[in-house]
Amino acid sequence: MAGPSAVSTYIVVGAGVFGASTALELVKAGHKVTVLERSQDGFHSPDAASNDLNKIVRADYSDPHYRDLAKETISIWRRSPLLSRFYHETGVLFRSGHNSTEGDAYLDVGVARANEAGSTLLEQPHPGKKLKPSAYHIKSGEEALRCFPPAVRPRLGECISKIGSRAADGQQGYFNARGGWAEADHATRAVLQEAIRLGAQVVSHAQVDEVLFDQGDKTRVVGVKTADGRSFFAGGPDGHVILCAGAWTRGLLKRIAPEQFDAWAPMAPTAQCVITVQLDEEQRRAFKDLPVVFNIETGFYCFEPDEHGLVKAAFHCEGYQRPLPDPSIPSTYPTFTTQQDGPVDESLVSTRAAPRVPADTPQRLLQELGLVYPELAKLKIDSDRICFYSESEDENWIIDYLPRAKGLILAGGDSGHAFKFLPILGQLVCARLGHSQVPSLTPHQDRVFSFAYHTELARQNERVTSSSASASSSSAQATLRGRL
């Protein structure tokens, strides 16, 4: 661990998915890197989204740019000596919840995008193996059951056997075997640990509260200062500070540059809801190798049990304004009831998010889990937690220099779908830096990852009336929230 007043070519603020990936890519290229993290051990904080059992890994995006990027990334998950052990290709099953035109459209786009000519050339299998079947529509309940291991099929809920039915209580679905999930906490730690092995310095208990400017050029950022008074400098002509603070980014920008806050912060934190239930050993073995199951009608999704028998279930939605991410050094992750009341800084919250987590959220999650696996709904909730997203205006990330601040780059706006790109996020940041050892940003990426794009989009959205904004949010649900 580095000491105070350190000098590195690159200062990376935050050790989550963007920060760890960026640190590794930079140190692999031979640069001197210091990572500042507010946690006690220097790895991602306990309340960070990266500190999670698992995240969905899939490539069938409605946006072909992310689709192609995800297919390349999943190939790395399969083949990387560092990361392959954390990736579980159990497949992803999407179901519509009930028969609807909107649900059919979402499913059709997912299958079509997954199978488009050209994109399939981006996919590489696990070493020594063939690629699994690509995405396909599920035509019957029997076909839906075959997406699950034989031993668990008698223990599935009726909602699975009704996929493919056009009856009143039926629904539609599709399955993509070329996806699954990854161990979020373990994979992110492994990436940062590899960066440390290659020479990166990591500083714990480092809550950044100030950016430091060059005395001769007040527009050039040369370092940062932490709440306890330590200073860290980005030295040399290539020196940069890279902010990778996740859901804490908006609050951090307001602290370090209040006069430029409006121009610097076109993203906002939202609180998302997660529960876990504890299976016994017999259940853990029986429910092993399950696909991820996602209900596009409600945003509910769930995973197979981890090695300890914990099953995670969550809602993917527009999220909640409370609780806000706490910038103080954390001791644990927040629960549904943490900081739900009291005043909230309106300049930090997402206007699309609901005010607070409904009190019945844990039971609704458990009920949804029971629709898929009835016996699991009888279990007690082992834990509940808030997973923080940093929402951009349209779920494109922000990877760009901050306006009127030379040497300061922001990498964030994860919008709930950045983790699956852990193997390549650092490459995108290095591409923005202009490094030659990584592929350049495509013209599309250069545009949609830019501050100019996001600030203009934010201004456009501000001009939309509340009534039309509500209608737009509802009609666009299948695509806007499609990047899980």
Closest CA to 352 of 243, 474, 441, 186: 474
Domain with CATH 3.30.9.10 in the chain: 88-180+268-392
How far is it, in rounded angstroms, from Cα 148 to Cα 162? 14
Do 15 and 210 touch, CB atoms closer than 8 A? Answer: no
**Residue whose C-alpha is closest to residue 50's, from 478, 452, 425:** 425
Mapping DSSP onto H, E and C, the string for 255-299 reads HHCHHHHHHHCCEEEEEEEEEEEECCHHHHHHCCCCCEEEECCCC
Beta bridge partners of 33: 10
Task: Tell me which fold the domain 7-50+186-266+394-480 belongs to.
Answer: FAD/NAD(P)-binding domain (3.50.50)
Report which of 183, 196, 192 is spatially closest to residue 77, judged by C-alpha positions: 183
Residue spans in the chain of domains classed CATH 3.50.50.60: 7-50+186-266+394-480
Name beta bridge partners: 208: 226
In angstroms, rounded to a whole number, what is the distance separating the alpha carbons of residues 21 and 188? 8
Q: What is the pLDDT along the chain (484 residues), one digit of tens a residue?
A: 444 445 569 999 999 999 999 999 999 999 999 999 999 999 999 899 999 999 999 999 999 999 999 999 999 999 999 999 999 999 999 999 999 999 999 999 999 999 998 877 889 999 999 999 999 999 999 999 999 999 999 999 999 999 999 999 999 999 999 999 999 999 999 999 999 999 999 999 999 999 999 988 988 999 999 999 999 999 887 899 999 999 999 999 988 887 777 767 789 999 999 999 999 999 999 999 999 999 999 999 999 999 999 999 999 999 999 888 887 766 677 888 776 666 778 888 888 899 989 989 999 999 999 999 999 999 999 999 999 999 999 999 999 999 888 999 999 999 999 999 999 999 999 999 999 999 999 999 999 999 999 999 988 887 553 444 444 333 333 333 455 5
Q: Which CATH superfamily is domain 88-180+268-392 in?
A: D-Amino Acid Oxidase, subunit A, domain 2 (3.30.9.10)
| CA–CA dist 484, 476 (Å, integer) | 15
CA–CA separation, 165 and 378 (whole Å): 28
> Around Cβ 129, how many Cβ atoms within 10 Å?
9
